[in-house]
Amino acid sequence: MTDKIISSPLIAKEDFHANGVNMSSTEFVGKLNFRCNPDNTTILNKVKDITGINLPLKAGEVFGNNEYRIQWLGPNEWIIQCADDEKDGLIDNIKSQLSDEHYSITDISDYYLTIRLSGKNSNEILSKGTSLDLKTYICNKDMCAQTYIAKATVLIDRLSNEPMYDISVRWSYAEYLWEWLVDASYEFIE
């Protein structure tokens, strides 16, 4: 096997700490798209056995433990996050345990980059670019929503009750969104 080339559009960006926000990029996280019929309890139980977490069945729910974090994308679609070097093992494990079931698992780790946004002005800055009602859909930790920020489709995952978000964005939009967020923060220059 050839060596992996590790790069990202955000790798040269220095963490941004100003104007009441902190931004950093957390790339190289394993992300697996998992789809199945949510009424199939056999699959739900097996996934729970493998990861230790239930698949969230309510809109915008996120369940996590030390190893995994599962985000709700739709009524039959989830993202399972894990460490980058564990994803191949997890895929093999799921494939071997669910061999008789109807489901799909896809490695999408390289589709998305994640920008971590925190700080007291993060909500104001997000509101400038998205029509999502932040106070309803991502008001507390472990809530996520797919929407768009400044025309870039994103998945926003709230990590704590203080404003702290992981914004997953398409690789090709990542630099644009990063610059947009930095630019948006200058309204709150201190």
Binding site for another protein (CB under 8 A): 59-60, 73-75, 77, 131-133, 136-137, 145-148, 153
Min CB(61)–another protein separation in Å: 12
Pairing of strands 152-158, 164-170: antiparallel
Q: How many CB atoms lie within 10 A of CB 89?
A: 12
CB-nearer residue toward another protein: 65 or 172 = 172
What are the CB-based long-range contacts (under 8 Å, 24+) for 172-179?
172/9, 174/8, 174/9, 174/10, 174/25, 174/113, 174/115, 175/9, 175/10, 175/13, 176/150, 176/152, 177/115, 177/149, 177/150, 177/152, 178/10, 178/13, 178/23, 178/25, 178/115
**Cβ distance to another protein smaller for residue 145 or 177:** 145
Q: Please state, in angstroms and rounded to a whole number, the distance separating the CA atoms of residues 117 and 169.
A: 13
As measured in angstroms, the least distance from the Cβ of 129 to another protein is 12
Provide the minimum distance between the beta carbon of 2 and another protein in the complex, in angstroms, as a whole number: 34
* C-beta of 52 vs 75, nearer to another protein: 75
CA distance 147 to 161: 20
**Sole residue written with tokens 């992996």:** 4
Sheet (strand 152-158) strand order: 16-18, 21-25, 112-118, 164-170, 152-158, 143-149
Residue 115 beta carbon to another protein: minimum distance, rounded to whole angstroms: 17
| Residue 60 or 119 having the CB closest to another protein | 60
Q: How far is the CB of 73 from another protein (least distance, A)?
A: 6
CB of 30 to another protein, least distance (A): 22
Nearer of residues 75 and 89 to another protein, judged by Cβ: 75
Nearer to another protein, 37 or 45 (CB): 37
